[in-house]
Amino acid sequence: MSPSPGTQPGTLTGTLERVDASIDDALSRLFALLRIPSVSAQPEHAADCAAAARYLRDELLACGFDASIRDTPGHPMVVAHDLGATTGPHVLFYGHYDVQPVDPLALWKTAPFEPTLITTESGRVEITARGASDDKGQVMTFIEACRALRAQTGALPVRVSIILEGEEESGSDNLRPFLEQHREELRADIALICDTGMIAPDQPAITGSLRGLVGEEVTIEAARRDLHSGLYGNAARNPIECLCTILGTVRDADGRVTLPGFYDGIAVPPDGQRAAWRAIDPDDNGLLGPVGLAVPAGEAGFTALEQTWCRPSFEINGISGGYEGEGFKTVLPARATAKVSFRLVPGQDPERIRAAFRAHVNAALPSDCRARFTPHGGSKGIALPPDGPFMDAALGALSAEWAPNRAVVIGGGGSIPVVSDLREVLGMDTLLIGFALDDDRIHAPNEKYDLASFHKGIRAWVRVLDALAS
Amino acid sequence: MSPSPGTQPGTLTGTLERVDASIDDALSRLFALLRIPSVSAQPEHAADCAAAARYLRDELLACGFDASIRDTPGHPMVVAHDLGATTGPHVLFYGHYDVQPVDPLALWKTAPFEPTLITTESGRVEITARGASDDKGQVMTFIEACRALRAQTGALPVRVSIILEGEEESGSDNLRPFLEQHREELRADIALICDTGMIAPDQPAITGSLRGLVGEEVTIEAARRDLHSGLYGNAARNPIECLCTILGTVRDADGRVTLPGFYDGIAVPPDGQRAAWRAIDPDDNGLLGPVGLAVPAGEAGFTALEQTWCRPSFEINGISGGYEGEGFKTVLPARATAKVSFRLVPGQDPERIRAAFRAHVNAALPSDCRARFTPHGGSKGIALPPDGPFMDAALGALSAEWAPNRAVVIGGGGSIPVVSDLREVLGMDTLLIGFALDDDRIHAPNEKYDLASFHKGIRAWVRVLDALAS
C-alpha cells in the first residue's frame, strides 16, 4: 500500500521532514514530563500528578488545542480539542500521564525520574525512566505528531479531541463517571489509544483484542496479635501458611484455574488465527527467551503467545506477612496479605470471577481464620472489530512507515479498561496503535522506550492522521 | 516442702526483706537496660548491643563480681565470676542482653525502648518495653538476687559464674566457639537459665524439655527481571505462586508435616505425663483463648499444650514478594522469599530436617524456577533429667515463694540452643527457671513483663541460690 495522499499534496512528506528535524526538541519535552514523578497509587505523589496534568495542558495549548484541566475526586483529567478540520472522521485520543510505583528502587541503574539516554551494545538508543514507555513516551508521540502537522499546515487533517487521565495505574476509578458526565463533549467517530506494542523493533502491530482484569487483595487473620513460634507454633493457626495453601490451589498442576465456571463462555480463536500467531513465535522463545525463561507456565496445549493473548490467567502480584527484614525472627504473625489478579478474555464476567475467588478462599479457610477482601478494579476482556475503513487506513499508514515490513493485527495480554468504557459509554470502537517493545520493562525497574519507537511513533501518527483524512 | 535453711540462719528472711525494700531501685536499673535498643539482628544497632554489654558489666562489677567484656566476631559476651563461696555447687548463669526487632512499630502503644509501667484493668502492673520479658527482665532478676544476697551477707551462698550473650535472637553464631575456647573458665556443676515461663501468674514452673529449631530462608527465582502481568501473565512462571504451592504442601490437611522421615525417632510422652499436662489446660482455652483462638491447628490427636511442648512443628515466619505497598501493581515479580522454621523435639536431627525441606522444595520446583537457601541456625530438641538434687532444691524454693501453689515441671515449646551447647561442650545440665507469662507478647509489639514476675523472680532466685547451698 502506498502512503495516503493526505489533505494537501506535499503535506505528508513535509511534515515527516519536520518531525525528523525537530526530534531533539520533542525529546526535551518528553524528558520534562518524565521528570515529574506522577505515581498515582501513592498519595504522597498527588501534587506530582497534578503537575503532570498542568504540563500536558500547557503543551497542548502550545500545539494550538483548546486544552484544560478537569478536576475529579481523584487525580485530574486533561481534555483538549482541535475541531477545525472539515473533512474526515472525528478522533478521540486517550492516554494516561500517571505511572507505576518504582520499587524496588535499588534495582534501578539510573534514577527513575531522571530520564537518561542509554546506547545498548547493539546500537539501540533507549530512553530510560519510569513512564518512558507506559505511557508518557507513547502519549507524546501523538501530541508531537499533532504539533508537527499544525506547524507544517496550520491545521490538523481531522478533528482531534484528547483525554489524558491520571489514574490508569491505580484503578481508573473516576474515568467512567467522567466519560458519562461528558458524553456529548467526548463522543467521536473512533478512539485512538497509544498504550500497546509492536511485534518487533521493525514490525508494527495493531492490537485487536485485550484481556480484562480482576484485581483483589486478600488478608487472612488468625490470632489477635503476633505470637512467638516457640510458645504457640503448631497449636496456633499460621495465616501465612493458610494463605499459601489457598493461593497454591487456585491453579492445578496443568496450569488451569480451578475456580468453578472460570472458563465458561470463552472461545478458543479459529485455527487460522492460531496458526498465524504460532508463526510469529513458533518455539515460545520470542516471548520468553529475552527474560530468561523457556517453558510456558500456563495451561498445557497453548503457546506462550496464546496464553497471553487469548487465555485467562491467575497471578499473585504481591505477598506479605511476618518478618521480612534481615536475619530471622521466629514470629507467628497475626495476618498475611496477598494482592492477586485475574486476566480475563471476552466472555468472562469480572464480578462473577471475583465472587468465585472469594468463595474459594472462604471455603478453604480453616478454623480460627478470617478473610478480608479489598477489590482493586474489574474490567471485561474485549475483542475489537478485525476490519473496517479505519483499521485498513491505520494498517496502511503503519506499513508505510516500516516498509517493507507489514503491520499485523495481534492479541493483547494486558488490560486497557477504557476500551470497554469507550464502547459502553460513548459507543465508540478503538484503534490500539502503540510502539512499545516487549523488552521495555514496563512496571519494572529500568523501564525504557526506544528512541526509535518515539521518533518513528511520531512519524507513524502523522501518517495515520493523514490517512484517516482521506 | 519448707524453705531451705540456707548457709546462715536468718539470711534468707533478711535478704527477701532487702529485695522488697529496694524494688524501686532494681526497677530503675532494669529500665536503664531496657532503654538500650540492643537489636542484634539489625547491623545499625551494633553499637547499642555493645552499650548493653557495658551496662551489664558495670552492674555486675557493682554487685561484687569480677566482670569483663569479651569480644567476639559478632556482638560481645559479658562474663563474670564470684567464686568466694566454699560450700555448695558452682552454678553458671546464662542469659542474653539482645532483643528482637520491633517491627511493626505502628502497633506499639508505647515506644518500645521507653519502658513504661502500665496498670491493667485487673490491677496487674506491667513493665512494657522490647526485651522486658525476653530476656532483660529475666536476666535482671538473677543479678538483683545476687546483689541483695551480697549486700545482706557480704558473699554469695554458692560459687556463681555468669555469661551473657548478645546474639541469642540472631542465631548465636559465636556462642558455641566461645564456650569451646573458655571450657575451663565456664565449666560448673549446673547451669541456670532464666528465659522461660510460669504456668500462670500464681504458679511457677521449671521447664523440663525444649524444642530445637531449624531456621531456613528460601528464595524462588524465575524470570531475570520483574515482568508486566499483562504481557507475560500465564506464560511466565510466577515465583510467588510457586512458593505458595511448595510451602502450602509441607503440612497435610491434618496438620502433619509431609517431609519423609520427619517424625522418625521421636517419642510420645508417657500417658501419665500427658494426663498431667491435660489437667493444666483441659480444653485448650488456657493457651489459645487469650490470643483469640479456639482450635489447635497442628496434628490431630494432640492438645494445644502437647502440640507445643512435645510435638515438632513447621512454621512460615515471613513471606515477601512482588508489590506490597498501597494500592495495586500488576507486576509478575522475578523472585519471592520466605523465612520458615521447624521446631524439633528430641530424636530429630536438625540437618536431616533441613535437607528434607530443601529436597521437598527442589522436587516441587517447576520448569524455569530456581531455589536459593540460606540457613538460619539449627539446634536439637532437648530433654532435661526429670529429677536430681538440684531439681528438687529448685522446685522446693519456687514452691516456697509461691506457697501454697506448687512448682511443676512442664515442657517448653521454644528453643534455647545454649542448653544443648552447655551439655555438649561443657558437659553440664541446665535448670530452666523463668517467670515469664504466656501473655508477655515476646517477639511481638507491646512486649511486657509483669512487675510481679520481676519482684517475685528476684525473691525466687534468692531462695534457689540459698537452697542450692544447703
A103 contact B CB<8A: yes
Is the Cβ pair A294, B368 closer than 8 Å? yes
Chain A residues with CB-CB distance to B226 below 8 A? 441, 443-445
Q: Inter-chain contact B231–A444, Cβ cutoff 8 Å?
A: no
- Dig out the grid coordinates for B374 from the structure: 540460606
Residue A388 pLDDT: 75
Put simply, whether A275 touches B (Cβ < 8 Å) is no
- Distance (Å) from the alpha carbon of A330 to chain B's nearest alpha carbon: 6
* Chain A touched by B51 (CB under 8 Å): no
Q: Can the peptide bond before residue A135 be classed as cis, meaning omega within 30 degrees of 0?
A: yes
Residue that is written with C-alpha cell 525494700 in the block = B21
What are the percentages of helix, strand and coil residues in chain B, rounded to 5? 35, 25, 40
Taking a contact as any Cβ pair under 8 Å apart, which residues of chain B between 170 and 189 contact chain A?
A: 170-171
What region, left, alpha or beta, does residue B281 occupy, with left being phi > 0 and alpha being psi -120 to 50 degrees? beta
Q: B447 vs A164, B108, B178, B213, CA distance in Å?
A: 51, 9, 30, 22
Structure letter (DSSP) for residue B430: E
Give the C-alpha separation, B351 to B377, whole Å. Answer: 10
Residue in A with minimal Cα distance to B107: A225
Question: Out of B251, B328, B341, whose CB is closest to A41?
Answer: B328
Per-position b or e across A295-333, b if 16+ CB within 10 A of its CB: ebbbbeebbbbbbbbbbbbbbbbbbbbbbbeebbbbbbb
Residues B324, B101: Cα–Cα separation, whole Å: 20
Four-point Cα dihedral B200, B204, B206, B209, nearest 10: -10
Sign of the C-alpha dihedral computed for residues A268, A270, A275 and A277 taken in this order = negative
Q: Please report, for residues A194, A299, A339, B222, the alpha-carbon distance to residue A257 in angstroms, rounded to integers and kept in the order given.
A: 31, 9, 17, 20
pLDDT tens for the 470 residues of chain A, in order: 333 434 455 789 999 999 999 999 999 999 999 999 999 999 999 999 999 999 999 999 999 999 999 999 999 999 999 999 998 999 999 999 999 999 989 999 999 999 999 999 999 999 999 999 999 999 999 999 999 999 999 999 999 999 999 999 998 999 999 999 999 999 999 999 999 999 889 999 999 889 999 999 999 999 999 998 988 999 999 999 999 999 999 999 999 999 999 999 998 888 887 887 898 899 999 999 999 999 999 999 999 999 999 999 999 999 999 999 999 999 999 999 999 999 999 999 999 999 999 999 999 999 999 999 999 988 889 887 766 789 999 999 999 999 999 898 888 888 788 998 999 999 999 999 999 998 899 989 999 999 999 999 999 999 999 999 98
B313–A229: do the CB atoms touch at under 8 Å?
A: yes
Give residue B383's pLDDT.
83
Task: Kindly determine whether residue A328 and residue B226, on different chains, have CB atoms separated by under 8 Å.
Answer: no
Q: Tell me which residues of chain B have a pLDDT lower than 50.
A: 1-7
The shortest CB-CB distance from B322 to any of A228, A318, A325 is to A318
Give chain B positions within 8 Å (CB) of A337. 324
The 8-class DSSP code of residue B248 comes to T
Question: Which string of DSSP letters, residue by residue, matches B316-338?
Answer: EEEEEEE--SSS---EE-SEEEE
In this complex, do A308 and B235 lie within 8 Å of one another by their Cβ atoms?
yes
CB contacts, 8 Å: B308 with chain A: 230-235
- Mark yes or no for CB contact A319/B240 under 8 Å: yes
Compute the distance between CA of residue A219 and CA of residue B192 in angstroms, rounded to an integer. 43
Q: Tell if the CB–CB gap between A308 and B233 is shorter than 8 Å.
A: yes
Cα–Cα distances in angstroms (integers) from residue B47 to residues A382, B164, B171, in the given order? 60, 16, 18
Measured between alpha carbons, how far is A169 from A102 in angstroms, rounded to an integer?
Answer: 12
Q: What is the pLDDT of residue B386?
A: 67
Q: Cα separation of B219 and B237, whole Å?
A: 14
Closest Cβ–Cβ partner in B234, B251, B314 for A311: B234
Residue B443 has its nearest CB partner, among A331, A343, A442, at A331
Rounded to a whole number of angstroms, the distance from the CA of B390 to the nearest CA of chain A is: 26
End-to-end Cα, chain B, rounded Å? 14
CB atoms < 10 A from the CB of B348, how many? 22
Distance (Å) from the C-alpha of residue A446 to the closest C-alpha of chain B?
Answer: 10
**A234 vs B: CB within 8 A:** yes
Query: Which chain B residues are Cβ-neighbours of A419 within 8 angstroms?
Result: none
A330/B contact by beta carbon, under 8 A: yes
Say whether B41 and A328 touch across the interface (CB within 8 A). yes
What pLDDT, on a 0 to 100 scale, did the predictor assign at position B230?
87
CA distance B425 to chain A (A): 24
What is the distance between the alpha carbons of residues A200 and B142, in angstroms, rounded to a whole number? 73
Q: Between vectors from CA A390 to CA A82 and to CA A203, what angle results, nearest 5°?
A: 105
Contact in structure between B191 and B94 (CB atoms under 8 Å)? yes
- Read out DSSP for A302-320? S-HHHHHHTS-EEEEEEEE
Please name the member of A227, A247, A376 whose beta carbon is closest to the beta carbon of B244.
A247
Provide the shortest C-alpha distance from residue B448 to chain A (in Å).
13
Which A residues in the span 380-409 are in contact with B, Cβ-Cβ below 8 Å?
none
Domains of chain B and any CATH numbers: 11-210+381-469 (3.40.630.10), 212-278+298-379 (3.30.70.360)
Which residues of chain B are within 8 Å of residue A412 when distances are taken between CB atoms?
A: 230
B321 contact residues in A (CB cutoff 8 A): 316, 318-319
CA closest to B299 among chain A residues: A234
Does the CB of A370 have a partner CB in chain B at under 8 Å? no
A316 φ, ψ (degrees, to nearest 5): -100, 115
By three-state DSSP, how is residue B5 classified?
coil
B311 at A interface, C-beta within 8 A: yes
Grid coordinates of B297:
491447628
Residue that is written with C-alpha cell 511481638 in the block:
B444
Task: Give the orientation angle of helix B239-247 with respect to helix B350-364, to 10 degrees.
Answer: 130
Q: What pLDDT score does A200 carry?
A: 87
Q: Do A240 and B170 touch (CB under 8 A)?
A: no
Contact assignment for B315 to A213 by CB distance below 8 Å: no
H-helix or E-strand containing A382?
A: strand A382-383
Which residue of chain A is at minimal alpha-carbon distance from B171?
Answer: A328
Report helix, strand or coil for A56: helix
Residue B341 to residue A330, Cβ atoms within 8 A: yes
Cα–Cα distance for residue pair A304/A299, rounded to 1 Å? 9
Q: Which residues of chain B does A39 touch, with a Cβ-Cβ cutoff of 8 Å?
A: none
CB atoms < 10 A from the CB of A444, how many? 24
